[in-house]
Amino acid sequence: MNVIKRPLGLYKANCYVLIKEGKSLIIDPGFHCNHIIDMVAESEPIAVLLTHGHCDHVSALDEVCTHYNIPAYLHPLDQELLQLIRRRPSVYKKKMYTSCNDLVEGRLQLEPFDILVHHTPGHSAGSVCLEIEGHLFTGDTLFKQNVGNTDNYKSNSDDLIKSLKHILSLSKDLIVEPGHKDSTILKYEKEFIKNIIV
């Protein structure tokens, strides 16, 4: 599996395109549909996965899904965030909204991708981490030597602690692909997490 990462938009949110056997998944299309189309290249996109519903991770969602005619997946507890974004005048004039399928805890098979969804609330109520072939796409739950903030609408610091405890139970060899900045390896973040949750 080939992982392509590009920071997009004012907040430099990482958009990922995963390519395998000529198919691709798009994770967190924050901004700039034309850049995402460039990342997809000659592969065939099959779906968009959203780690959470904040605007810097979803603003190109409708444009990307309309362009490729593909479905999107978002945890149901973040559907409200997506609808709040669409109430902005610059967005609702477009009139091309993608209905998101529920992205819930457990295994999701989108051939040829086998995805393990971890519900990791805290930064938002519907935040998820996506475990795919040795990579853990953490959105804004976990970064390199940092964690997501909990001063947002419907965020919760107690939930974040529980989510971090769950992440501690995962394989130390997972490559952490965060929503912003650099990738890391989970074994390098576990001590940092332990210091936070004590």
Q: Which H or E element spans position 114?
A: strand 113-119
**1-27, pLDDT tens digit by residue?**
999 999 998 899 999 999 999 999 999
Structural domains of the chain ordered from first start: 2-197 (3.60.15.10)
Q: Which of 37-41, 78-82, 168-172, 176-180 has the lowest mean pLDDT?
A: 78-82
3-state SS assignment for residue 38: helix
**What local confidence, expressed as pLDDT, does residue 99 receive?**
84
**148-192, pLDDT tens digit by residue?**
999 988 899 999 999 999 999 999 999 999 999 999 999 999 999
Pair 140, 152: CB distance under 8 Å:
no
C-alpha dist (Å) from residue 166 to 34, 36, 138, 143, 177? 36, 31, 12, 15, 17
